Amino acid sequence: MKKLLTVLSIGSLFAVAGLAETMSGTISDASCAAKHEAAAASDVACVKRCIQRGGAPVLISSGKVYQISADSRDKVKDVLGLKVTVNGKVDGDTVSIASVEAAK
Predicted structure pTM score = 0.79
Q: Which long-range contacts (CB under 8 A, 24 or more apart) does 96-102 make?
A: 96/69, 96/71, 96/72, 97/68, 97/69, 97/72, 98/20, 99/75, 100/27, 100/75, 100/76
Domain 21-102 has CATH 2.40.50: yes
pLDDT by residue for the chain (104 residues), tens only, comes to 555 444 445 554 444 444 679 999 999 999 999 898 889 999 999 999 999 999 999 999 999 999 999 999 999 999 999 999 999 999 999 999 999 999 98
Domain coordinates of the chain in residue numbers? Answer: 21-102
